[in-house]
C-alpha cells in the first residue's frame, strides 16, 4: 500500500484480535493507527499483531498505538521520514513506532535501517504508553527509547510464534512481503 490520502490502515471502533502480516507499506505519511483518539472507550480491545512487514520510506505511524496490547516482530523499517521530507513535512517527523496513551507494545527482533527515531512517545495525558523491545537490530539508526515497566503481558501467553534473528529480518521481508510474493 502506498501514497494514500491519510491512514492506510485504521484499526478503530474497538477492533480486536487483528493481525497484519507479510505486507508492504511505502511512500506514505501515516501508515497504521490503532485507536483513533485519546478518549476511546474501548480500552480493553485493540489486541493487534504486526509481523513480517516492510515499512519503507513512510513518515510516521508504523504503527501509532493508543491503548491495546500490540505485538510487533520481524518487521523491517527503512528510510523513515523520506516521503515526508519529499512532500515538505517537517524533518523532525520520521519515526517508526508511535507510543500513545496507555499503549502496551511488545517489540521483538525488528530491523531498523536509516531512521533517526525508532520510537516516538506521543502520550499527552496522565496515562503514559509503554514499549518493551528485545533483540532488534539497528543500522545507521538512532537507538530505541523504551519504557518497559508497563508492558506486563507476553505474546506467548496468547499464541505461538517463531522468531528469527533480527539480522536476517531485512532479507526475509524484502523477499516475502507484499502482493505476489
61 carries an active-site annotation: yes
- Cβ atoms of 33 and 7 within 8 Å: the answer is yes
Residue with cell 499503549: 103
List, in sequence order, every beta strand (DSSP E) within the chain.
9-11, 18-21, 24-26, 32-34, 47-51, 54-56, 64-65, 69-73, 76-78, 95-99, 104-108, 111-113, 117-121, 130-134, 137-139
Q: Give ∠ CA 98-100-104 in degrees, rounded to 5.
A: 95
Cα separation, 75 vs 133, in Å, equals 13
Cα separation, 42 vs 15, in Å, equals 9
Give the chain's radius of gyration (CA, Å): 15
Catalytic residue from among 61, 64, 66, 170: 61
Give me the active site residues, please. Answer: 61
Amino acid at each position: 500500500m502506498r501514497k494514500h490520502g491519510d491512514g492506510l490502515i485504521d484499526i478503530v471502533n474497538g477492533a480486536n484480535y487483528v493481525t497484519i502480516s507479510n505486507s508492504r507499506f511505502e511512500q506514505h505519511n501515516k501508515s497504521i493507527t490503532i485507536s483513533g483518539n485519546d478518549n476511546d472507550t474501548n480500552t480493553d480491545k485493540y489486541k493487534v499483531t504486526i509481523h513480517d512487514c516492510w515499512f519503507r520510506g513512510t513518515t510516521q505511524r508504523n504503527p501509532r498505538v493508543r491503548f491495546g496490547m500490540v505485538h510487533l516482530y520481524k518487521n523491517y523499517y527503512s528510510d523513515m521520514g523520506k516521503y515526508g521530507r519529499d512532500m515538505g513535512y517537517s524533518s523532525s517527523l520520521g519515526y517508526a513506532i508511535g507510543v500513545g496513551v496507555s499503549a502496551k507494545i511488545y517489540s521483538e527482533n525488528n530491523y531498523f535501517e536509516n531512521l533517526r527515531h525508532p520510537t516516538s512517545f506521543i502520550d499527552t495525558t496522565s496515562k503514559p504508553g509503554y514499549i518493551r523491545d528485545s533483540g532488534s537490530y539497528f543500522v545507521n539508526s538512532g537507538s530505541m527509547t523504551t519504557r518497559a515497566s508497563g508492558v506486563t503481558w507476553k505474546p506467548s501467553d496468547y499464541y505461538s510464534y517463531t522468531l528469527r534473528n533480527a539480522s536476517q529480518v531485512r532479507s526475509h521481508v524484502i523477499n516475502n512481503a507484499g502482493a505476489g510474493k
